[in-house]
Amino acid sequence: MTVERSNHSTGFIAKEMPPRVILTSMDWEADGKQHGYLSVPYSSDDSAWGAVRVPITLIRNGEGPCVLFTGGNHGDEYEGPIALRKLATALEADDFRGSAIIIPALNPPAVQAGTRVSPIDGVNMNRSFPGKRTGSVTKMICHYVSTRLLPEADAVVDIHSGGKTLTFTPFAAMHYLEDPDQFEQTKAMMHAFAAPISLVIEELDTEGMFDGVVEDTGKPFIFTELGGGGTVTPQTVAIAERGIINVLRHFGIYHGEPMDFEKEEVPPTRMMATPDGKSYTISDETGLFEMVVNLGDSVEEGQLLGRIHSIEKTEIPPSLYFAHRSGELIGRHYPGLARPGDCLAVIAIDDE
């Protein structure tokens, strides 16, 4: 039986000293399971010499591949934090060859507040990579991940969902990559995750994302969008749990007995793509948002997707929003109100 220990119960002993601003109690070389945290200095009205703690679990058993799993990059997306939190408790180092670094809540102030961006510095973590050594709390976490954790990892899985303002048919995703080897390795990891949809995605807005920082190192990176609306379902949590275990098995890291959710029959993942901007329909108005198609519906180019009704004037007809391509609706704006610039609909096409 390998050792399991908690740095929480034994008190904080910094294993790393400056020049890093973030300190940690973790011993990255030790075998076994460690529960600890990153300590991010945050001097506030509530705590003059205080810190934000980022909980972290390292499960390691000897040399071998290492996968970094992150959830709670955005604070209103829950499948990642829940599934990673459960597996951090359930997985045992004896069943490992290699290691996993598990961070269920990468941006704890945002997760604690249930908000996309951090309430203490107003920063959207996934637009702030590679971060800044002496920046605000969120930027310091990004910097630590980029400079200290990423070099430890052979691959990264960043678990997102739609949050309060979007909802998706659950998918794992990767970007179009120039290096063919990196593309194939990443695609194999995405396949292994085995979400209902595996999506090759061209995104609207990529500056400052974790994705690009990992991709620039040549390592495989996938992310997910597993649901949304600011909550979870039994199905979306199971997809996250199964996907994490699938990736660990894919890299030969996890050798444990099949978990209950692994024994269930699941349909094969479906390869899809959002190859360009025609996959997105964007709002131009403020008003009541009436979607007229459902997630999973097939739509034709030019088909009506939704209407936005003026709240102030009854004489104005609704603004109509159409599909810019034929395909399947895999994502939609979730709230009943829309504003200019909101992404209202995401349409994917079958790939292969």
> What does the binding site for Ca ion look like in residue numbers (CB under 5 A)?
74, 160
The tokens describing 209, both together, are 């994302």
The residues, ordered by sequence, that sit 6+ positions from 18 with a Cβ below 8 Å of its Cβ are none
3-state secondary structure 182-231: HHHHHHHHHHHHCCCEEEEECCCCCCCCHHHHHHCCCCCEEEEECCECCC
Helix, strand, coil shares of the chain, percent, nearest 5, are 25, 30, 45
Closest distance to Ca ion from the beta carbon of 190 (Å): 17
Q: Where are the alpha helices (DSSP H) in 74-208?
A: 79-90, 108-113, 137-144, 180-193
The string of DSSP codes covering 253-288 is -B-PPPPHHHHS--PPPEEEEE-SGGGEEE--S-EE
Decide whether 143 or 160 has the Cβ nearer to Ca ion. Answer: 160
Contact predicate 53/111, CB 8 Å: no
Distance in Å, CB of 112 to Ca ion, minimum: 17
Q: Is 271 helix (H, G, I), strand (E, B) or coil?
A: strand
Question: How many Cβ atoms are within 10 Å of 154's Cβ, its own excluded?
Answer: 16
Whole-angstrom Cα distance, residue 201 to residue 138? 26
Closest to Ca ion by CB, 91 or 110: 110
Token output for 44? 């506030």
Min. distance of Cβ 166 from Ca ion in angstroms?
Answer: 8
- Least separation, in Å, of the C-beta of 133 and Ca ion? 24
Q: Distance (Å, rounded) from C-alpha 196 to C-alpha 243?
A: 10
Instruction: Considering the complex, state which of residue 254 and residue 280 has its C-beta at the smaller distance from Ca ion.
Output: 280
Min dist. Cβ of residue 160 to Ca ion (A): 4
- The number of helix segments (H) and strand segments (E) in the chain equals 8, 20
> Which residue number places its CB atom closest to Ca ion?
160
Pick between residue 33 and residue 160 the one whose CB is nearest to Ca ion: 160
CB of 74 to Ca ion, least distance (A): 4
Distance of alpha carbon 286 from alpha carbon 149, whole angstroms? 42
Residue placing its CB nearer to Ca ion in the complex, 33 or 74:
74
Task: State in angstroms the smallest separation of the CB of 279 from Ca ion.
Answer: 17
Closest to Ca ion by CB, 60 vs 160, is 160
Closer residue to Ca ion (CB): 149 or 226: 226
Between 60 and 74, name the residue whose CB sits nearer to Ca ion: 74
Nearest to 20, CA basis, from 106, 153, 133: 133
Q: How far is the CB of 233 from Ca ion (least distance, A)?
A: 17
Least separation in angstroms between CB 207 and Ca ion: 15
Of 160 and 219, nearer to Ca ion (C-beta) is: 160
Phi then psi for residue 61, to 5 deg, are -140, 85
